[in-house]
Structure 1
Amino acid sequence: MHLSPFPHVEDKSEVPKDGTAIATPNYCFEADRSTCKEYYESIEDESGFHTCPYGFSSFVDRVNELIFTGLRIKKEYDKSLLQNRVNDEEEYLPQMPKKVIKKSAKKFGLTKEQVEYFEDKYFEMEDRIDRLRDSNNKFENFINKNLHEIRKFNADIKSTTESLLKISDDGQIERRARSVLAWSNLISARLNTYDIKNNPGIVTKGSKENRIVYKKFDKARMCYMPTLGDQDIRINISGESYYKWAMYDIFDLVPYLTLDNAIKYSPDNQNIEIIFEEPQDKLLVTVESIGPKVDEEELDKVTSENYRGSLASEVKDQG
């Protein structure tokens, strides 16, 4: 067995095998196999160029145990015999210089032992891939099972906290409960982000509904506020807006992720501003914060997953 760009002989009694660049001529499938076998046996020990009984060129490379055949090699094929045996409109069989054939034999001619070696390595790699795939599936099942439990616990926390807020008239308890509820909402946002990463199709799950964008950002702002005490970062929102936009449920992640990024890179004692404007019946939402400068050559990369600008990498991750 050989790997080669041209038709080649593996079994002298069978039709030559296709090359990676040129296929075996159609006529070879019609030719008398006994005639072909006798021809290949007569040339297999004679390195160099030959012409088969049907007019095609052959090349023997004894070093690589290789026979190229079914070709049109300059001055080594019978034009009159091939005239009615090759349809140039349906087959690709160019006239090739001898030096191209010789170079190809040296470059692509692999012995049977070499091919068997690469086949063994290929199957060995396939076996490793199968084992890795199996391990990955087990790990994914473990993660998904635990995420299911986390979602359940988080839903219980949220439900209990909301019930506590309804019955409590103690201001301190209410503040603590709202903090717990805020953390629960942030956990939900993180879990939803994981879901999108593993199944992007859920982005368009369900139907769109017209909702007020302002409320989405204000809810995210209120969720983050109880978590920012140590940093003394304030999130302000300005501009009234009742602008409705047809959105999927997953849009809730947009304000969470936008504010999360602003908080992560903001120095302590700074403000994050959310500004709502409605120019010409359109909605413009701007989130302003102080953070590391992004160099001009990094602008095209900052939206890539896990990429951080050179200055941002120096900022301690607060998220």
Structure 2
Amino acid sequence: MKLVPQLNSTGEIEDGSYIRALDFCQRNCNKGRCKTFYNSIMSAPLSSGFLTCPYGMSVYVSALEKQIYCSMRERETYNKKLSKNIADARKLYNPVLPAEQLYTLIQASQTITVGKKKLDEKQAVVDSISHEVKKLNGQIKEHSDLAISLLKADDDVTPSPENVAKVYEELRSIFLSSSMIASRYTLFDYEKNPDVLKGTIVETSIHKTFYKLAKIFRNYRKRNIPIILSGSTFRYIDAYDSFDLIPLLLIENAVKYSYYSSDVQITFSESSSSEVDVSIESYSPYCSKEDLTRIFEKGFRGKNASKVADGNGIGLFFVKKICDIHNIGITVESDNSRITPINSVAYAPFRIMLHFTKTYNVDHT
């Protein structure tokens, strides 16, 4: 809900609920003298303040928002003589107000607009997480039914080794889906309380945490994506419970976007100075330099990634948040020298690197 009329990105006027846009303004804002007037404002360095439009109405320019509010009557800039040529079929007579009162209305309108945008963003995240949880719950049911049917196939006798092995794989899949549901609820809780990423600090093995999650991701979504671990580190760190989400989300992301049957490579290296690097490399949709600069933005998805799989653009956003509270460096690369087009999608080696310094220290604040 907007209190004051304002120009949108297409040059049209969005009406206000308190100060109403005149019919003349709505019809002509994108034409002739009005269009020239507004274009001249936006093409020059913006300076906040009230102006007089070509037809005598008051306009407020917000340099911070890069926004124009219009169709008002501010005491000092409203020109009654010029505005006589404006006929309004609805007989609207907006009050002539001092700048302070109109500015207060504009600020209130800005607050409402920003608040609604944040609420819409949160709702979009909640809806997306809810959809994913339903899908994961369906996978748990599917794997459970299959495990039960495998055991029943042995007619109440000791299960055959072959069926035991199959049941074990189904249980592994159930555990993975359950872990992923738990991660979604953590992301959901973050929307209400960012401190949910903190909590109890425990001594954690970097290598074992990645190894455990890489193991249960085997045959995830039956995509036949081998996960290969190389190198090692014996480094332990003090970490919050949320640290487990880093390998979970990164491996899930790598498997989800990897080209069918290509490897996901997880490499560990530890220097003589006890600094540790972990890289997760996959053959995934190419990310341009522009995409890479935004890859940790909440809700952002790369152009090519959007062609390959559904997503909400919050996985890497949360990985970055968790890395920040653990003081872990994170960088991303997409190799533009090895791009291969496959089914109208550009693929290339995609690498995420984590860096643990010798003086690593979890953020206790």
TM value normalised by structure 2: 0.43
Answer 1 or 2: which has greater strand percent: 2
From the two aligned structures, give the one with the greater helix fraction: 1
Larger radius of gyration: 1
TM, length-normalised to structure 1: 0.49
